Amino acid sequence: MNKESANSLTRRIVIGMIAGIILGTIFQAMLPEDGDLLIPLGLFDFAVRGFFVDGLFEIGGQIFITSLKMLVVPLVFISLICGTCSLTDTSKLGRIGGRAIGLYLMTTAIAITIAIAAALLISPGDGVNMTADVTFATKEAPSLTQVIIGMFPSNPFDAFAKGNMLQIIVFALLFGIAIALAGEAGERIAKTFEDFNEVIMRLVVILMNLAPYGVFCLMTTLFTELSLATFGNLIVYFMVVLAVLLLHAFLTYPIILKLLTGLNPVTFIKKMRTTALFAFSTASSNATIPSTLNTTTKKLGVNNSIASFTVPLGATINMDGTAIMQGVATVFIAQVFNVDLSVTDFLMVIVTATLASIGTAGVPGVGLIMLAMVLAQVGLPVEGIGLIIGVDRLLDMVRTAVNVTGDSMVTVVVGKAEGQFDQSVFNSSDDTNGDRIDFHHLKD
Ligand code: ASP
């Protein structure tokens, strides 16, 4: 396969994204704020917003996201069962879990510390005079005890139906261990799950190949509705969050990867492109799981026995990008409301933001709900969220890309440490492995 066609999925997604941004910007300029543009066509008037933005593109974008989400529960369940029962020594599970969770918590704490330091240095909220016009309901941060008990499903089908990732992970791990212990019957059922896994991974690749169209639709609707007027006072806040997000993705992760594995961080970043684009356009680590699993196993060379566990776990408990937004937002809101935060308050922010990320799923906008918990914890007005909501959607997209990059980096580190890693796949120059639909099996 030549390089050009090999690069095609990433390239096609980028083209879809840019085309969507351009078309959305044109619609934004053409359409009145709360109305439609009617073009008289003889017998009837043709409504541009009604037909394209709220019709065609809305349908296309939502079907794309929904079909990615459709894959998540069966994919995580099946691949995790395959992963667990292929681990010859199931006692290794504890060590793998410990390593992954330790790294996830460590990277989140680093992320939020850098964010708070940057925000204190640049003071994005000084001199800003704004009033919050949006009210936001606070939810209390769940206690660690609640989070741990809540990981165990009383009814696995309820967990599937609700897409409760931690409960699905626990059930799949237990089921996988039981398969490994069940002798001949276990071997038969393991074989069946491997076949299921093969089939569902094909479905992942098919849907991934539809991404350019889905991304085009999503970007068109987003940029038609995006109001740039909200940026005014928030531009410094926006730039600080963006800068720390980029710093974390392009500096912190490469350094950790190099230090812990000796692998080439440039190769890692390059191979993350497609998955980062998925995360950026869906703003959901959860919906990106199929692509993250595909990249970590087929392009980065981590064995499915590790990736099937660490990827869905990371999508749920590891949100470094979100923590960065929370760090900067807390300082920003404190400055706007003229509240002085003490060192203890900042430590509180770090702990609450890290713990809040454990119990919340990676879906669009969830970062703001977590921020409400953090603000309440240090006594800042939760209405402060109303100040930053206007620019949050774009930041959500970038921070989700950072979140999944973090999940993948930790997956590589754990895979390498456990010897479940194929360095030749990681080093191979074909960074599109796993993106292509293989039609060989189709008969005429
Ligand atoms: N959208 C983010 C994610 O799915 C969470 C957030 O920051 O709102 O990872």
Q: What is the mean pLDDT of residues 425-434?
A: 82
Q: Would residue 252 count as lying in a domain?
A: yes
Q: How confident is the model at residue 390 (pLDDT cuts 50, 70, 90)?
A: confident
Q: Is 438 helix (H, G, I), strand (E, B) or coil?
A: coil
Per-residue pLDDT of 393-403, as tens digits, reads: 899 999 999 99
Q: Which amino acid is at 282?
A: T
Distance 363 CA to ligand 1 centre (A): 5
Helices 392-417 & 273-282 angle (0-180, nearest 10): 140
Give residue 104's pLDDT band: very low, low, confident or very high (50, 70, 90).
very high
Q: Ligand 1, closest atom to CA 360?
A: 5
Q: Ligand 1: which atom is nearest the Cα of residue 363?
A: 4
Residue 441 maps to a domain: no
- Given a cut of 90, whether residue 284 has pLDDT beyond it is yes
Task: Note whether residue 437 is domain-resident.
Answer: no
Greatest mean pLDDT range, 22-26, 89-93, 435-439: 22-26
Output the DSSP codes for 28-83.
HHHS-TTS--EEEETTEEEEHIIIIIIIIIHHHHHHHHHHHHHHHHHHHHHHHHHH
DSSP 182: S
Residue 322: domain span: 3-426
When comparing pLDDT for 337 and 228, which is higher? 337
289 part of a folded domain: yes
Name 99's Cβ contacts closer than 8 Å, sequence gap at least 6.
413, 414, 417, 418
> pLDDT (tens digit, 9 = 90+) per residue, 115-125?
999 999 999 98
Q: With a cut of 60, say whether residue 6 has pLDDT above it.
A: no
Residue of 104, 108, 275, 322 with the most ligand 1 atoms within 8 Å of its CB, for mutation: 322
| Ligand 1 atom showing the smallest separation from residue 399 Cα | 7
- Expressed in angstroms and rounded, the spacing between residue 391 Cα and the centre of ligand 1 is 14
CB atoms near residue 437 (< 10 Å): 12
- Ligand 1 centre to CA of 322 (Å) is 6
Whole-number Å distance, alpha carbon 321 to ligand 1 midpoint, is: 8
User: What pLDDT is stored for residue 102 in this prediction?
Assistant: 94
Number of domains observed in the structure of the chain: 1
Residue 438 lies in a domain: no
Q: Ligand 1: distance of its center to the CA of 348 in Å?
A: 21
151 falls within a domain: yes
User: What's the mean pLDDT when you consider all of the chain?
Assistant: 88
Can you give the pLDDT at residue 259? 97
Q: What is the pLDDT of residues 125-160, one digit of tens each?
A: 887 766 655 555 556 666 778 878 988 999 999 999
Amino acid, single-letter form, for residue 388 = I
**Residue 431 belongs to some domain of the structure:** no
Residue nearest to atom 3 of ligand 1 (CA): 362
In the reported structure, the alpha carbon of residue 143 is separated from the centroid of ligand 1 by a whole-number distance in angstroms of: 21
Distance 360 CA to ligand 1 centre (A): 9
Q: Is 422 a residue whose pLDDT tops 80? A: yes
Task: List the CATH number of the domain containing 66.
Answer: 1.10.3860.10
Distance in Å, CA 403 to ligand 1 centroid: 8
Distance between Cα 374 and ligand 1 center (Å): 16
| Candidate of 275, 370, 399, 405 to mutate for ligand 1, largest count of ligand atoms within 8 Å of Cβ | 399
Query: Is residue 5 over pLDDT 60?
Result: no
Using a 10 angstrom Cβ sphere, with 0-12 exposed, 13-18 middle and 19 or more buried, the burial of residue 328 is buried
User: Which residues, including other chains, have CB under 8 Å from residue 215's CB and lie 6 or more apart?
Assistant: 13, 16, 17, 20, 64, 277, 281
Nearest CA to ligand 1 atom 1: 364
Q: Which atom of ligand 1 is nearest to the CA of 284?
A: 4
Average pLDDT over residues 99-127: 93
Checking phi first, is residue 379 left (phi over 0); if not, alpha (psi -120 to 50) or beta? Answer: left
Counting from 1 in the atom list of ligand 1, the atom nearest the Cα of 362 is: 4
Do 370 and 360 contact (CB within 8 A), yes or no?
yes
Q: Is the pLDDT of residue 112 over 90?
A: yes
Whether residue 39 is predicted with pLDDT greater than 90 in this model: the reply is: no
Cite the DSSP H helix spans in 134-251: 144-150, 156-162, 165-181, 183-208, 211-225, 235-247
| CB neighbours of residue 314 within 10 Å | 30
Q: What is the pLDDT of residue 139?
A: 60
Pocket of ligand 1 (CB under 6 A): 283-285, 319, 322, 362-367, 396, 399-400, 403
Rounded CA separation 260/147 (Å) = 29
- What average pLDDT score do residues 195-217 get? 91
Reported as a single tens digit per residue, the pLDDT across 336-354 is 988 899 999 999 899 888 8
Lowest-confidence region among 249-253, 289-293, 355-359, 397-401: 355-359
Higher pLDDT, 141 or 367: 367
What are residue 135's phi and psi, to 5 degrees? -95, 150
Q: Is the pLDDT of residue 224 over 60?
A: yes
Q: What is the pLDDT of residue 31?
A: 86
What angle, rounded to 10 degrees, do the helices at 92-122 and 343-359 form?
140
**Neighbour count for residue 53 (Cβ, 10 Å):** 22
Q: Which of 363, 368, 370, 374 to mutate to test the pocket of ligand 1 (most atoms within 8 A of CB)?
A: 363
Contact 197, 4 (CB under 8 A): no
> Is a pLDDT exceeding 60 seen at residue 367?
yes
Specify if 86 maps to a domain: yes
Question: Which residue puts its alpha carbon closest to atom 6 of ligand 1?
Answer: 367
Residues above pLDDT 90, as percent of the chain: 55
Q: What is the mean pLDDT of residues 422-439?
A: 81
Instruction: Answer yes or no: is pLDDT of 437 > 80.
Output: no
> What whole-number distance in Å separates Cα of residue 58 and Cα of residue 42?
26
Ligand 1 atom closest to Cα of 283?
A: 1
> What is the pLDDT, as a whole number, of residue 51?
87
pLDDT at 7: 58
> In this predicted structure, what is the pLDDT of residue 441?
60
Ligand 1 atom showing the smallest separation from residue 404 Cα: 9
Q: 405 CA to middle of ligand 1, Å?
A: 13
Pick 408 or 436 by higher pLDDT. 408
Tell me how far the alpha carbon of residue 288 lies from the centroid of ligand 1, in angstroms.
11
Give me ligand 1 centre to Cα 89, in Å.
34
Query: Residue 430: pLDDT above 70?
Result: yes
pLDDT band at 189 (very low <50, low <70, confident <90, very high): very high
Q: Which atom of ligand 1 is nearest to the CA of 286?
A: 4
